[in-house]
Amino acid sequence: MSIIFSFIFIICVIFSCVFLSPNIVLESITNSAKGAIENICIIASMLIFWSGIFNIMSNTKLLSKISKKLYSVFSFLFKKDEVSDKAKEYISLNLASNIMGVGNAATVNSLNGIEELQKSNKDKKKLNKSMATFILLNTSSLQIIPTSMISLRVLYGSQNPSAIIIPVIIVSVISLSVALISLNLIWRFYE
Partner 1 sequence: MSNYLVPIFILVVLILGVLERKNVYNLFIEGAIQGIKTAYNIFPYVFAITIISGLLKDTKILSNISLFGMDGNLLPLIIMKPLSGGASASIIVDIFKNFGTDTFIGMVASILMASTETTLYVISIMASRIKLKDTKIVIICGLIGDLTAAIVAVIISKLITG
By the rule CB under 8 A, 176 interacts with partner 1: yes
Closest CA to 110 of 80, 125, 131: 131
User: Measured from the CB of residue 139, what is the shortest distance to partner 1 in angstroms?
Assistant: 4
Residue 60 contacts partner 1 per CB under 8 A: yes
* 186 is an interface residue for partner 1 by CB under 8 A: yes
Q: For the stretch 130-143, what's the b/e string if a residue is b when 16 or more beta carbons lie within 10 angstroms of its beta carbon?
A: bbbbbeebbebbbb
Check binding of 23 to partner 1 (CB under 8 A).
no
Q: Which is nearer to partner 1, 73 or 163 (CB)?
A: 163
Please state the closest distance from residue 98 (CB atom) to partner 1, in A. 9
Span near partner 1 by CB under 8 A; candidates 67-75, 76-84, 173-181: 173-181
Could you give the CA distance from residue 158 to residue 89 in angstroms, rounded to a whole number?
40
- Measured over the CA atoms of residue 92, residue 169, residue 134 and residue 184, the dihedral's sign is positive
Instruction: Return the residues of window 39-58 that contact partner 1 according to CB under 8 A.
Output: 39-40, 43-44, 47-57
Say whether residue 107 binds partner 1 (CB under 8 A): yes
Are 112 and 76 in contact by the 8 Å Cβ rule? The answer is no
- Give, as ranges, the residues between 114 and 133 that touch partner 1 (CB under 8 A): 114-115, 118, 124-127, 132
Q: Which of positions 130-149 make contact with partner 1 (CB under 8 A)?
A: 132, 135-136, 138-141, 143, 145-147, 149
Binds partner 1 by CB under 8 A, chosen from 22, 27, 73, 84 = 27
Residue 46's contacts (CB-CB under 8 Å, 6 or more residues apart) are: 104
Q: How far is 44 from 170, CA to CA, in rounded Å?
A: 33
22 lies in the binding site for partner 1 (CB under 8 A): no
Q: How far apart are CA 32 and CA 36, in angstroms?
A: 6
